């Protein structure tokens, strides 16, 4: 049985597309059915990859009056599975299919203090929150980390909107983010909202748990799109149903299993809910856990994986093979 978000799909027309950095483009869309956009909202997009529509999630960065237009920003990196390239190729007048704005990463107004933490393109998930917190005069800090100043999308806009509340950490200026220091300095009553690469999320989660801060006050937006290793092809065996499936570097394990008509449960497709869990019976290689569902101990045991985002990684000179069972 498969479950999925009950998304409402609609057509949207591309109004504008602009390069923000060498690898990030801002794309402004006019949806056929405008709706209000809350902070933390994203849209899912059906992106044609090799002629086949695939689903990608992008945060809504800002929106026009009554949601008549909304902007997303798309990073095309060497690790992109093809969706970003297709999005970068969009031009004004093109149409695509999108969902109504979905809020899986809501901002809870009313906390004593806030830290909004963005790594790279993760800024797109927290910009709207920063705007809301500024407008309600909340006590917030927006922490933006990246490799270089030219790689930081929306930098000038954020500097002028948030002034001293914006804290930059830039690796090639020797001001990298020290997660232990950041979490160590968090005041009681702080909620931290985070979107960034898996390494950053993992480090923050560890530091947060170590400081024994309330776990519900740490909130993630993941999109399940970054891992510890570059994606590569690997093989999945399912002895119980006699199946062997190759997962290409450009697809997720869940997508490959769906294409092979293996029946699986799933919901978020972002490594958050754990519904797509498969039990690992045998492993030649290692697992690149890309979820935020399992604890560190569960990940280290290599006994299961969230197949919507996590992947197998090859042993030296070989191809990874993961043997699984499904519920």
Which residues here bind ligand FES, judged by CB under 6 A? 266-269, 271-276, 291, 293, 306, 308
Nearer to ligand FES, 28 or 324 (CB): 324
Nearer to ligand FES, 162 or 269 (CB): 269
Q: What are phi and psi of 221, to 5 degrees?
A: -115, 125
The CB-of-272 to ligand FES minimum distance in angstroms stands at: 5
- E strands present in 190-285: 190-195, 218-221, 234-238, 243-247, 277-284
- Burial state string for 60-80 with b = 16 or more CB within 10 A and e = fewer than 16: bbbbeeebebbbbbbbbeeeb
The CB-of-2 to ligand FES minimum distance in angstroms stands at: 10
The CB-of-99 to ligand FES minimum distance in angstroms stands at: 16
Give the separation between CA 196 and CA 223, rounded to whole angstroms.
9
Nearer to ligand FES, 128 or 274 (CB): 274
List 311's β-bridge partners, or say none.
Answer: 288
Nearer to ligand FES, 14 or 265 (CB): 265
Nearer to ligand FES, 67 or 271 (CB): 271
The CB-of-169 to ligand FES minimum distance in angstroms stands at: 29
The structure tokens 């001001």 sit at 175
The CB-of-266 to ligand FES minimum distance in angstroms stands at: 4
What 3 state SS string does 176-208 have? CCCHHHHHHCCCCCEEEEEECCHHHHHHHHHHH
């Amino acid at each position: 049985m498969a479950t999925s978000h009950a998304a409402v799909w609609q057509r949207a027309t591309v109004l504008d597309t602009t390069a923000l950095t060498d690898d990030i483009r801002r794309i402004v869309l006019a949806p056929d059915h405008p709706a209000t956009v809350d902070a933390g909202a994203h849209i899912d997009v059906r992106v044609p990859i090799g002629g086949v529509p695939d689903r990608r999630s992008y945060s809504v960065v800002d929106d026009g009056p009554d949601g008549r237009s909304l902007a997303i920003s798309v990073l095309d990196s060497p690790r992109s599975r093809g969706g970003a390239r297709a999005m970068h190729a969009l031009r004004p007048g093109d149409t695509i299919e999108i969902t109504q704005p979905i809020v899986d990463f809501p901002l809870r107004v009313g906390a004593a203090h806030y830290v909004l933490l963005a790594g790279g393109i993760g800024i797109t998930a927290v910009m709207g929150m920063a705007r809301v917190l500024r407008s309600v005069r909340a006590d917030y800090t927006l922490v933006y980390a990246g490799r270089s100043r030219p790689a930081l999308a929306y930098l000038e806009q954020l500097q002028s909107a948030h002034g001293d509340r914006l804290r930059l950490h830039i690796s090639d200026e020797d001001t990298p983010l020290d997660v232990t220091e950041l979490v160590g300095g968090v005041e009681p009553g702080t909620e931290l909202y985070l979107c960034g690469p898996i390494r950053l999320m993992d480090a923050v989660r560890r530091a947060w748990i170590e400081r024994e801060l309330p776990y519900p006050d740490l909130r993630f937006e993941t999109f399940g799109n970054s891992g510890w290793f570059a994606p590569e092809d690997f093989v999945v065996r399912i002895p119980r149903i006699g199946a062997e499936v190759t997962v290409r570097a450009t697809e997720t394990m869940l997508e490959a299993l769906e294409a092979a008509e293996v029946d699986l449960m799933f919901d978020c497709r972002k490594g958050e809910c754990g519904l797509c869990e498969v039990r690992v019976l045998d492993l030649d290689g290692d697992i690149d856990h890309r979820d935020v569902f399992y604890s560190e101990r569960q990940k280290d045991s290599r006994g299961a994986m969230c197949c919507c985002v996590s992947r197998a990684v090859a042993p030296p000179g070989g191809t990874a093979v993961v043997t699984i069972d499904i519920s």
